[in-house]
């Protein structure tokens, strides 16, 4: 983040009592994501409360990829176990298969419902399940005569 944006966050965090840890968490999570573009990914809204994260994992086997969720953070890790070819065997090497770890902070009530690999693309399916207790309630107004 640039200095101007940081000063706005400082001002905002002082105005909103009790939200300071939220701003610290956001700053820490986004600072790591800005410089990390590997592997490329898409985030798609597939329905009112449904999403997909598509991660390009060409060159990785299913056994080399781990998808975990902890503390509302989706973590996708790839650890290549294939032996490296000698550099002189490549005529062109355009596919990177280096190890990676991508973190995706999840909003409240977002659940990972599954993951699959199709054509070198890891697809992680997510859904927002809002519990009845968190949904707005309509209160009946009783008229007393």
Quick: pLDDT tens for 109-137: 999 999 999 999 999 999 999 888 888 88
CA distance 31 to 97: 24
The pLDDT, as a whole number, for residue 97 is 79
Q: What is the second-level CATH architecture of the domain 38-134?
A: Sandwich (2.60)
Quick: pLDDT tens for 53-105: 999 998 898 999 999 999 989 999 999 876 666 666 778 878 777 899 999 98
CA distance 117 to 129: 24
- Indicate the domain borders of the chain: 1-35, 38-134
Question: For 145, what's the count of Cα atoms within 13 Å in the CB-facing half-sphere?
Answer: 0
- Cα distances from 75 to residues 8, 71, 105, in angstroms, run 29, 10, 9
First to last CA, the chain: 61
Instruction: Of 55, 64, 74, 76, give the one whose Cα is nearest residue 126.
Output: 74
- Cα distances from 52 to residues 37, 41, 71, 101, 112, in angstroms, run 18, 10, 19, 18, 9
% of the chain residues with pLDDT over 90? 44
User: Is residue 38 very low, low, confident or very high in pLDDT (cuts 50, 70, 90)?
Assistant: confident
Instruction: Of 111, 121, 138, give the one whose Cα is nearest residue 78.
Output: 121
Calculate the dihedral angle through the C-alpha atoms of 79, 114, 75, 70, rounding to the nearest 10 degrees.
Answer: -130
Other beta carbons less than 10 A from residue 38's beta carbon: 12
CA distance 55 to 67: 11
The pLDDT, as a whole number, for residue 134 is 82
The pLDDT, as a whole number, for residue 90 is 75
pLDDT higher than 80, residue 9? no
Q: pTM of the entire structure?
A: 0.68
């Amino acid at each position: 983040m640039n200095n101007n944006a940081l000063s706005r966050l400082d001002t905002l965090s002082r105005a909103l009592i009790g939200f300071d840890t939220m701003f610290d968490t956001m700053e820490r999570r986004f600072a790591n994501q800005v410089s990390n573009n590997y592997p490329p990914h898409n985030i798609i809204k597939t329905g009112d409360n449904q999403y997909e994260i598509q991660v390009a994992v060409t060159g990785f086997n299913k056994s080399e990829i781990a998808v975990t969720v902890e503390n509302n953070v989706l973590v996708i890790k790839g650890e290549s176990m294939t032996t490296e070819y000698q550099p002189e065997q490549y005529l062109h090497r355009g596919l990177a298969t280096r190890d990676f770890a991508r973190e995706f902070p999840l909003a409240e009530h977002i659940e990972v419902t599954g993951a699959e690999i199709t054509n070198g693309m890891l697809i992680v399916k997510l859904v927002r399940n809002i519990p009845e207790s968190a949904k707005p309630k309509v209160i009946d107004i009783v008229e007393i005569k």
